[in-house]
Amino acid sequence: MLHWFDSIILGIVEGLTEFLPVSSTGHMILTNELLGYGQNTPEQLKTFEIVIQFAAILAIAIVYRNKIFQVLGLGRTESAKSLSVDALPKRRLNLIHVLLGIVPPLAVAFLFRHPIKELGFTTVPVLWALVVGGIYMWISEWLYDSGKIKRTAETMDDISYKQALIIGCIQCISVWPGFSRSGSTIAGGMLSGLSYRASADFSFFIAIPIMTAATGYELLESLDLFRAGTLDVGFLLTGFVVSFAVAWIVVVAFLKVLQKIKLKYFAWYRFVLAALFYLLVVR
């Protein structure tokens, strides 16, 4: 039976991990394991996870609302007062950049959705993804800090079409649950010549259409549960509010201290989490 306490815990986990390079999907799978659901996750809980992910999307969309309006041609192009996007006299980021960044991972996720669900959404593959993703992030940051990569884009508006496509292709790796979509895009951006800030901004920005598409698809598959009235509205609302609030706080705080937080710290966290979970739960 689902409990309101589970709603709060899962909402916090989703909000904390959705936009950090630690893998929200991996954390949700591991959290379900700790809560006693494991592989027997109720259909209502799967729908709940879609709802709290939508809450996280809403939070990031509000943070980047001015940039969204600009890209859609609905806002001023001479300035952007977003919490995360530096104002520039000339807007360069456009829908083509966004499409190049989102089409590759969406195509891969759609084509391989069934094998991914059958093989990837289990504990051991997630733990391996945490480790491999951590190594990838560590190496990417080492190459970036060593000066071996020429930095050509200081802000999100400086990104070229080629860089957007590279990030989109690298992001395909994130369909492996536990690898982390934000981790793959931030590190991929740094490898392609973006600054740490531009990589994070573009990663968070393209998360909005990607997660909206993924969440919308999952919601369509869960329509029968909504129509049948078998979902606990209070359970859903609690998780939604908690996930929204935590995600908004995390994104704003992360962007403010971005230059002080290295990817290697998240890599260490991933290694420790995978080791502890393996020793305490899997063995």
Which residues form the domain of 83? Answer: 4-87+94-282
What is the pLDDT at residue 87?
43
pTM, 2 dp: 0.85
Residues 7, 207, 40, CA angle at the centre, nearest 5°? 35
Residue type, 180: S
Per-residue model confidence (pLDDT) at position 79: 43
Q: What percent of the chain shows pLDDT beyond 70? A: 86
Asked whether the beta carbons of 84 and 255 are under 8 A apart, the reply is: yes
Specify the pLDDT at position 228: 64
Q: Are 255 and 22 in contact (CB under 8 A)?
A: no
Nearest to 21 by CA among 164, 245, 179, 129: 179
Nearest residue to 92 (alpha-carbon basis) of 159, 21, 144: 159
pLDDT value of position 40: 57
> Tokens 């690898």 identify what position?
179
Which residues are CB-contacts of 173 (< 8 A; sequence separation ≥ 6)? 133, 136, 179, 184
- Contact (CB, 8 A) for 91 and 70: yes
In the prediction, which pLDDT does 58 show?
93
For the chain, list residues with pLDDT below 70.
1-2, 38-43, 75-91, 119-121, 221-222, 224-231
Distance CA 278, CA 275 (A): 5
- Dihedral angle sign, alpha carbons of residues 228, 230, 233, 237: negative
For the chain, the residue count is 283
- Please count the structural domains in the chain: 1
